[in-house]
Amino acid sequence: MLERPRHPRQYLVAPLQPAGFLPHHFRGVDEPTGIAVPDDPARAAAAVSRRVLPRFRIALAAVRHNATVQPEPPHRPEPPQVARVVTLTWYQDGALGAPYKSVPEDAHTDLYGLGFQYHPHQAAFLLPAAYGEDGRDLRLRALVHQLAQKGIGVNLRHTTTPTIAAPRPAAPVPTSPSVTAHRR
């Protein structure tokens, strides 16, 4: 309860969240709101009893019910394990693809149908960068959905640039005239 700003002789009364409950217990509960009451104690008590307490009791009962039904926050279940997986890679040139030998045979038709092209000289299925980001995203989502229906998982990876240091040139061996003269 606190004084109502800019309204002399009035107070705001609102129920507080009861202790001991977790945030997910309040999900879906119609929480009671506060009311303004006059500074007359008898009229204020009557207004709170009539307008706040019934809604508070209903909300508290719903929160207690939620706490008994689901004491812990809901967690999404783990995905099912799959034996077959297609690993798609974003290549540096913007293409998205997978090595041919790593793609299960029954996924070939899905890849072709969504615009992937087989490049024999690269031994890979590639989705060209020419489709643009939106086109690639739509095709990728459709592919994931289609392969999931067949029990085939999809991994998505980025290529990493190998950081191989260039070999340093060998330092030249100085030849002095005195050394060469002794060898003759």
Q: Which long-range contacts (CB under 8 A, 24 or more apart) does 26-29 make?
A: 26/63, 26/66, 27/66, 28/62, 28/66, 29/59, 29/62, 29/63, 29/66
Q: What is the pLDDT of residue 106?
A: 93
Distance CA 116, CA 124 (A): 9
Q: What is the pLDDT of residue 30?
A: 92
Q: What is the pLDDT of residue 176?
A: 53
- Judge contact between 159 and 89, C-beta under 8 A: yes
Q: What is the mean pLDDT of each run of 10 residues along the chain (184 residues)?
A: 90 92 92 92 95 95 94 84 91 86 93 94 90 90 94 88 54 54 49
Helices (H) and strands (E) in the chain, counts: 5, 8
Please state, as a whole number, how many other Cβ atoms lie within 10 Å of the Cβ of residue 7. 11
What is the topology classification, in CATH, of domain 84-158?
A: Alpha-Beta Plaits (3.30.70)
Ordered alpha helix ranges (H), 70-175:
108-113, 132-149
Tell me phi and psi for residue 86, to 5 degrees. Answer: -110, 125
Distance CA 74, CA 72 (A): 6
Please state, as a whole number, how many other Cβ atoms lie within 10 Å of the Cβ of residue 82. 13
Domain spans in the chain, listed from the N-terminal domain onward: 2-69, 84-158
